[in-house]
């Protein structure tokens, strides 16, 4: 059995179902793989995801990064006791993308009791780095009356 960081594991199909009727579905974000310590997904470069110059919109890269990172963060906690919410996100856009899908992989950098840090790499269809993002998540306890 492979070691994993997941305390509340989910399949790509389950994660995609969570994205129904959300920005993820509107933008075409699809989770394609869950590994022992990462979540991977794709998003098309289309009229919904580009800016007026025809390049992928930097803010859309951030939506992709935060979507995958948030899913991963919540899988890394016991969701009966905790949930994770975004606290800070940044992105460095290093290569323009005009066509094809992009793929993104969220990998944990730090799993703490009250926070997590995830790194998300977004690649073009040729496997070249397009954007690198860091996402900090707050781990919040469920409050039960």
What is the per-residue pLDDT across 113-143, written as a single tens digit (0 to 9) for each? 999 999 999 999 999 999 999 999 999 999 8
The SS3 of residue 13 is: helix
Instruction: Judge whether 33 counts as a catalytic residue.
Output: no
pLDDT of residue 28: 98
What is the per-residue pLDDT across 42-97, written as a single tens digit (0 to 9) for each? 999 999 999 999 999 999 999 999 999 999 999 999 999 999 999 999 999 999 99
From 25, 30, 33, 66, the catalytic residue = 66
CATH architecture of structural domain 12-141: Roll (3.10)
Q: Is 36 exposed, middle or buried (0-12, 13-18, 19+ CB in 10 A)?
A: exposed
Q: How far is CA 4 from CA 36, 39, 68, 140, in A?
A: 4, 12, 17, 22
Indicate if the pLDDT at residue 2 is higher than 90. no
């Amino acid at each position: 059995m492979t070691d994993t960081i997941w305390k509340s594991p989910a399949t790509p199909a389950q994660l995609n179902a969570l994205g129904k009727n959300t920005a993820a579905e509107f933008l075409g974000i699809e989770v394609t793989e869950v590994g022992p310590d990462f979540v991977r997904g794709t998003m098309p470069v289309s009229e919904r995801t580009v800016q007026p110059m025809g390049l992928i919109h930097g803010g859309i890269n951030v939506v992709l990064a935060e979507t995958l990172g948030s899913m991963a963060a919540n899988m890394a906690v016991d969701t009966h006791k905790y949930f994770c919410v975004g606290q800070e996100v940044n992105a460095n856009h290093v290569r323009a993308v005009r066509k094809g899908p992009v793929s993104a992989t969220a990998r944990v950098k730090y799993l703490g009791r009250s926070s997590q840090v995830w790194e998300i790499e977004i690649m073009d269809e040729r496997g070249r780095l397009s954007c690198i993002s860091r996402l900090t998540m707050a781990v919040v306890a469920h409050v039960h009356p």
